């Protein structure tokens, strides 16, 4: 496969189809709209269905239905649209239904929404935050695997850089180990057999096949998420072994951190970088290890301070954790603003550690 210049939304759509996605429903809302456009034009040719839903709530409930038949399905929007989808995301989690949800967000202010969730009950959503289009292509395929493996809704946390920018990318299908057969999938075949199946968050079951009931079902699902937390955390770390200053960021901010770390190390500053790749499960153990011995753990996220809570929870020394990001949107409100800039980050790092430009 040769590299092609693809817009992120097109690359992600091809990756989803390569991963076996055969149902997609969504409602236009920038910067997610382009992914809906790409699915509308590419999915039918791959034998799939793409529906231009009449609302976000309708879209995710269509996808929930498709998932209940065992099909690999997906939906998406930006943070505002995902707010409408929260009830259905909880329902998917407590129905143990797999679904991939693309949040092509309008910035970084949806971290809590993705990691704490706004639905009902004990559930979490595995969330991957790629730092560029190339990583988004791999994450998309990984998410379809994880959703089926753990029977859970999962989220790709993208933004306008992921959705709109074009890069030379090679969307090659990735291989994953097989996932358990979907015996639970509904297709009508068990009707009249006396052992017909039901998918319902109350898990009552039927006369001949009684279910665990809400209490035990929800306990089991809560334990499942604890299990997932232990095995699915992912992160990227650089120069932590000798770092005195650790910069922590997520998503597309990561490429700016990498540039500034490279510059400051060349100037003799012992700086390292830590980037949670899964926002949930948060890579707490890895952060604790990377932050041990650091005199400064600086969190650079473009919101009012959300991931900093998790960093404080796991950092080796909570007292050295500081947020150096902030709310930053451009005029349209559709994308990050002036803080997304290497020169700004560099200045804030130097200020935070009490150094001025050129003082060293």
Partner 1 sequence: MNEREVLFTGIGGQGLQMVSKALGMAALADGREVLLVPRYGGMMRGGKTNAELTIGDPPLRALPVVTAAWSAFVMHQAFWETIRPNLRSGAVVVVNSSLFHLDVDVDEARSFRVPATDIAAELGSPMSAGFVLLGAFLAITGLAPVGAAVDAMRQLVPPYRTQHVTNNERAIEAGVAAGPALAAPAWSDLEGVR
Partner 2 sequence: MTPRLISAFKPSLLQSSEHDLCPGCGHAPAWRITLDVVAELDLKPVVLAGHGCYTQLMVNSDVDSLQTLHGRAPAAATGVKRMLPDTPVITLQGDGDMVSEGLHEVLHAAARGERITALLFNNGVFGDTGGHMTATTVVGQRTKTSLDGRDAEQHGYPIDVGRLLAQIDGAAYVARGAVSSAGLVARTKRMIRRALELQLEGAGFTFVEVLTMCPTGWFVGTPQGPEYLEESMIATFGIGELKAPSAP
Residues 6+ apart with CB under 8 A from 291: 240, 246, 274, 297, 315, 316, 317, 320
Binding to partner 2 by residue 332, rule CB under 8 A? no
Residues 30-89, interacting with partner 1 (CB under 8 A)? 30
Give start and end residues of each alpha helix (H) in the chain.
Answer: 8-18, 33-42, 56-68, 79-84, 86-95, 111-116, 133-150, 160-164, 213-231, 253-266, 284-291, 307-314, 342-352
Site for partner 2 (CB under 8 A): which residue of 33, 108, 109, 253? 33
Binding to partner 1 by residue 342, rule CB under 8 A? yes
Residues 197-236, interacting with partner 1 (CB under 8 A)? none
Site for partner 2 (CB under 8 A): which residue of 6, 29, 43, 221? 29
- Exposure string (b/e) for 234-266, b if CB count within 10 Å is 16 or more? bbebbbbeebebbbbbbbbbbebbbebbebbbe
| Residue 303 Cβ vs partner 1, minimum distance, rounded to whole Å | 18
Torsion of CA 158, 161, 165, 171, to 10 degrees: -30
Site for partner 1 (CB under 8 A): which residue of 255, 316, 327, 355? 255
The helix (run of H) or strand (run of E) holding residue 76 is strand 73-77
| Residue 348 Cβ vs partner 2, minimum distance, rounded to whole Å | 34
Pick one of partner 2, partner 1, none as the site partner of residue 29 (Cβ within 5 to 8 A by kind): partner 2
Pick one of partner 2, partner 1, none as the site partner of residue 52 (Cβ within 5 to 8 A by kind): partner 2
Pick one of partner 2, partner 1, none as the site partner of residue 252 (Cβ within 5 to 8 A by kind): partner 1
Site for partner 2 (CB under 8 A): which residue of 3, 5, 55, 338? 55
**Cβ count within 10 A of residue 201:** 18
Closer to partner 1 by CB, 115 or 252: give it. Answer: 252
| Residue 75 Cβ vs partner 2, minimum distance, rounded to whole Å | 14
Pick one of partner 1, partner 2, none as the site partner of residue 55 (Cβ within 5 to 8 A by kind): partner 2
Name the pairing type of β-strands 321-323 and 296-299: parallel
Nearest to 151 by CA among 118, 184, 173: 184
Site for partner 2 (CB under 8 A): which residue of 1, 45, 54, 175? 54
Site for partner 2 (CB under 8 A): which residue of 17, 19, 36, 221? 36
- Please state, in angstroms and rounded to a whole number, the distance separating the CA atoms of residues 291 and 287: 6
Binding to partner 1 by residue 139, rule CB under 8 A? no
Closer to partner 1 by CB, 222 or 342: give it. Answer: 342
Are 289 and 255 in contact by the 8 Å Cβ rule? The answer is: no
Binding site for partner 2 (CB under 8 A): 27-30, 33, 36-37, 40-41, 44, 52, 54-55
């Amino acid at each position: 496969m040769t590299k092609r210049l693809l817009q992120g939304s097109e690359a992600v759509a091809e990756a989803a189809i390569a991963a076996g996605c055969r149902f997609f429903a969504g409602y236009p809302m920038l910067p997610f709209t382009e992914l809906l456009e790409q699915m509308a034009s590419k999915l039918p040719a791959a034998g799939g269905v793409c529906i231009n839903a009449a609302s976000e709530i309708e879209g995710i409930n269509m996808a929930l239905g498709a998932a209940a038949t065992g099909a690999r399905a997906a939906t998406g929007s930006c943070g505002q649209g995902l707010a409408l989808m929260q009830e259905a995301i909880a329902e998917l989690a407590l129905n143990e239904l797999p679904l991939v949800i693309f949040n092509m967000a309008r910035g970084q202010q949806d971290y809590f929404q993705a990691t704490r969730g706004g639905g009902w009950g004990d559930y979490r959503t595995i969330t991957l935050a790629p730092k560029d289009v190339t990583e988004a292509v791999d994450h998309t395929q990984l998410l379809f695997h994880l959703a089926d493996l753990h029977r859970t809704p999962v989220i790709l946390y993208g933004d306008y850089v992921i959705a709109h920018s074009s890069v030379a990318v090679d969307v090659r299908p990735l291989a994953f180990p097989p996932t358990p057969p979907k015996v639970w999938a509904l297709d009508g075949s068990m009707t009249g057999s006396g052992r017909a199946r039901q998918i319902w968050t109350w898990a009552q079951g039927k006369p001949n096949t009684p279910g665990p009931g809400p209490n035990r079902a929800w306990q089991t699902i809560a334990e499942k998420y604890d299990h997932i937390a232990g095995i699915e955390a992912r992160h990227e770390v650089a120069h932590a072994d000798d770092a005195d200053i650790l910069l922590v960021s997520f998503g597309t901010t990561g490429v700016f951190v990498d540039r500034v770390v490279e510059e400051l190390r060349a100037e003799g500053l012992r700086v390292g970088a830590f980037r949670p790749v899964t926002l949930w499960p948060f890579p707490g153990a890895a952060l604790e290890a990377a932050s041990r011995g650091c005199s400064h753990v600086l969190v650079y996220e473009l919101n009012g301070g959300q991931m900093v809570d998790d960093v404080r929870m796991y950092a080796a020394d909570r007292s050295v954790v500081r947020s150096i990001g902030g709310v930053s949107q451009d005029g349209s409100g559709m994308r990050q603003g002036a803080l997304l800039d290497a020169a700004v980050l560099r200045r804030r790092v130097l200020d935070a550690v009490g150094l001025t430009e050129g003082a060293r």
